[in-house]
């Protein structure tokens, strides 16, 4: 058995054992071995972390830093993270099986993670207020942007560090302090991040991490009266629960939730490009990406050829352990999720949907492996077409005319992303206008950048990450009215 590492939680730049919750195990999904013990934080630990963040915001040096000074701190954080990218990536791979080469794995190149810190480091002193020409005599009315104070961040297991950095950089740029709660299924890379950030020399209490479960750590954190804003990334069901808790104190929220993103293939698409793009948009991270293009909407004139070619491409994928350099698709991130994905495949097969490629053939005795799985045409109302699987599973739907495909594409509760594959750019742009999704890709998929806002329509969420909008979510405006010729007659004279 591998050595088991015990983590503590992090508050006020110090490590702590949980007051009364004990520890829970973290399993390596590539091997099924327990490799870490993680604090099962409860109310007393949440109070400690929120107290540290509150003190840092109101009493510490952080709240008094000038925006340009905060910018320098952010760029320093980016440098440190980039230096330790490999160490953070290794921990995350052990926790959730993600490969060097997928999304978080770009940690190993360091590149875009540093981009967020540089981008928002530069934005700290550019978030300008404005003078408002209000219709009021002898008044100078100006608008300024202010932080909320203590912000809580609730994270999913699929890409903890990547998800976190998209939140942390704008949140700190805005001047807030933070308490994070990573997923109980992948907590360790967030804790390791706090360890490496000791080199960035942040004041105590600016960053704090509690670990634990949704009900006993996440709920109390969202509900804590000193937490002024909540930034959530997770499933739509979890998002609804968090929004209901936050509503008790009318807390502002950002919600980055699930998706069932359509890939629309037109009859004039470049088929090599589209087949490769669709395969790359679902399989490499085992389908465990929020924007995975898991619904194929293919024109009836090409569906046979398209699916044959997709099966040929997907068959070549090498499924295996993340530490094997030959591996292209790693395991499902944890056992409950692996079992849930297998269950969805079995139920879809039992419902009579035609399986063109069965990823269950790649299952092993140890570790949680499932290969690319492709279903032929399914009805738009079916479970497979409507509900997120979050695994390497794609199903097709057939269409004949443009009205029909737009209707089908929009016929789910989700609206996170969509892909359109066509040589007719004008038609693709017209369709992009009508698809209800926060991100639309034309002849590409999966691009993202610190400069470009992402987020959901409908039940895929609200609020945005990245770009100017990403920072705005962590700030509120204040309108100040200054009398330039003050006089106030007696109101009752």
What amino acid positions are annotated as catalytic residues? 256, 290
- Alpha-carbon gap, residue 462 to 469, rounded angstroms: 11
Nearer Cβ to ligand NAD, position 233 or 412? 233
Candidates 12, 104, 176, 183; binder of ligand NAD (CB under 6 A) is 183
> What is the closest distance, in whole angstroms, from the C-beta atom of residue 416 to ligand NAD in the complex?
6
* Contact string (CB under 6 A) for ligand NAD, positions 430-459, x = contact: --------------------------x---
Of 18, 234, 262, 453, the residue at the interface with ligand NAD (CB under 6 A) is 234
According to DSSP, the β-strands at 9-11 and 14-16 are: antiparallel
Segment near ligand NAD (CB under 6 A); pick from 106-114, 121-129, 189-197, 229-237:
229-237
228 touching ligand NAD, by CB under 6 A: no
214 is an interface residue for ligand NAD by CB under 6 A: yes
- Give yes or no for residue 269 binding ligand NAD (CB under 6 A): no
CA distance 440 to 442: 7
- What track of x and - describes contact with ligand NAD for positions 379 through 418 (by CB under 6 A)? ---------x-x-------------------------x--
Residues in contact with ligand NAD, total (CB under 6 A)?
A: 32
Distances (CA, A) of 326 to 99, 282, 361: 11, 19, 19
Pairing of strands 355-357, 207-209: unpaired
354 DSSP 8-state letter:
P
Among residues 156 and 175, whose Cβ is nearest to ligand NAD?
Answer: 156
Residue 15's CB: how many other CB atoms inside 10 A? 14
Does 218 bind ligand NAD (CB under 6 A)? Our answer is yes
Tally of CB atoms within 10 A around 279: 23
Query: Does 334 participate in binding ligand NAD (rule CB under 6 A)?
Result: no
Contact 210, 49 (CB under 8 A): yes
**Considering the rule CB under 6 A, would residue 27 count as an interface residue with ligand NAD?**
no
For position 155 contacting ligand NAD by CB under 6 A, the verdict is yes
Q: Which stretch binds ligand NAD (CB under 6 A): 5-13, 42-50, 152-160, 316-324?
A: 152-160
- CB crowding 70-107: b at 16 or more within 10 Å, else e: bbebbbbbbebbbebbebbbbbbbbbbbbbbbbbbbbb
Q: Residue 181 interacts with ligand NAD (CB under 6 A)?
A: yes
- In whole angstroms, give the CA distance from residue 202 to residue 190: 16
Q: Which of 174, 179, 222, 307 binds ligand NAD (CB under 6 A)?
A: 222
| Phi-psi domain of 90 (left: phi exceeds 0; alpha: psi -120 through 50; beta: other) | alpha
Among positions 289-308, residues that touch ligand NAD (CB under 6 A) are 290
Asked if 256 interacts with ligand NAD (CB under 6 A), we say yes
Stretch that binds ligand NAD, among 109-117, 153-161, 362-370, 373-381 (CB under 6 A): 153-161
d(CA 391, CA 285): 8
CA distance 304 to 163: 37
Q: How far apart are CA 257 and CA 458, in angstroms?
A: 10
Among 7, 10, 35, 157, binds ligand NAD (CB under 6 A): 157
Residue 225: C-alpha distances to residues 174, 179, 233, 245, 328 (Å): 21, 13, 21, 11, 45
What tokens were used for 432? 């992009």
**Interface positions with ligand NAD (CB under 6 A):** 154-158, 163, 181, 183-184, 213-215, 218-219, 222, 233-235, 238, 241-242, 245, 256-259, 290, 388, 390, 416, 456, 461
């Amino acid at each position: 058995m591998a050595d088991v590492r015990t983590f503590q939680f992090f508050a006020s730049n110090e490590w702590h054992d949980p007051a009364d919750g004990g520890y829970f195990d973290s399993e390596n999904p590539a091997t099924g071995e327990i490799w870490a013990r993680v604090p099962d934080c409860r109310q007393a630990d949440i109070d400690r972390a929120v107290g540290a963040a509150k003190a840092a915001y109101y009493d510490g040096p952080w709240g008094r830093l000038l925006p340009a000074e905060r910018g320098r701190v952010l760029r320093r954080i980016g440098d440190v993270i980039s230096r330790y990218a490999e160490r953070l990536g290794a921990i995350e791979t052990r926790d959730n099986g993600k490969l060097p080469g997928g999304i978080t794995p770009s940690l190993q190149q360091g590149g875009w993670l540093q981009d967020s810190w540089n981008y928002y480091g530069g934005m700290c002193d550019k978030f300008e207020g404005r003078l408002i020409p209000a219709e009021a005599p002898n008044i100078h009315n100006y608008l300024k942007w202010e932080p909320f104070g203590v912000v809580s961040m609730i994270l999913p297991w699929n890409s903890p560090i990547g998800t976190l950095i998209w939140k942390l950089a704008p949140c700190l740029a805005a001047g807030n302090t933070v308490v994070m709660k990573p997923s109980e299924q992948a907590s360790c890379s967030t804790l390791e991040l706090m360890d490496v950030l000791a080199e960035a020399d942040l004041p105590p209490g600016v960053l704090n991490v509690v670990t634990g479960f949704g009900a006993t750590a996440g709920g109390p954190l969202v509900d804590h009266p000193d937490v002024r804003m909540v930034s959530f990334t997770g499933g739509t069901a979890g998002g609804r629960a968090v929004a209901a808790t936050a509503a008790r104190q009318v807390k502002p929220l950002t919600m980055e939730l699930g998706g069932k993103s359509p890939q629309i293939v037109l009859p004039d698409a470049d088929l090599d490009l589209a087949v490769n793009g669709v395969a790359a948009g679902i399989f490499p991270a085992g389908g465990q990406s929020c924007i995975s293009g898991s619904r194929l909407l293919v024109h009836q004139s090409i569906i046979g050829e398209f699916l044959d070619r997709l099966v040929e491409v997907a068959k070549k994928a090498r499924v295996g352990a993340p530490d094997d350099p030959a591996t292209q698709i790693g395991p499902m991130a944890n056992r409950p999720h692996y079992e849930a994905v297998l269950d969805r495949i079995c139920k879809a097969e039992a419902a009579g949907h035609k399986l063109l490629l069965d990823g269950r053939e790649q299952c092993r005795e140890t570790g949680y492996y499932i290969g690319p799985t492709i279903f032929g045409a399914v009805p738009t109302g079916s479970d497979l077409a409507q509900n997120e699987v979050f695994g390497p599973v794609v199903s097709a739907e057939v269409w004949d005319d443009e009205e029909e495909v737009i209707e089908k594409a929009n016929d789910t509760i989700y609206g996170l992303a969509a892909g359109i594959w066509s040589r007719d750019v004008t038609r693709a742009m017209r369709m992009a206008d009508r698809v209800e999704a926060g991100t639309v890709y034309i002849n590409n998929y999966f691009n993202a950048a610190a400069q470009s806002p992402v987020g959901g329509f409908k039940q895929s969420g609200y609020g945005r990450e990245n770009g100017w909008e990403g920072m705005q979510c962590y700030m509120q405006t204040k309108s100040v009215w200054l009398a330039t010729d003050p006089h106030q007659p007696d109101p009752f004279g």
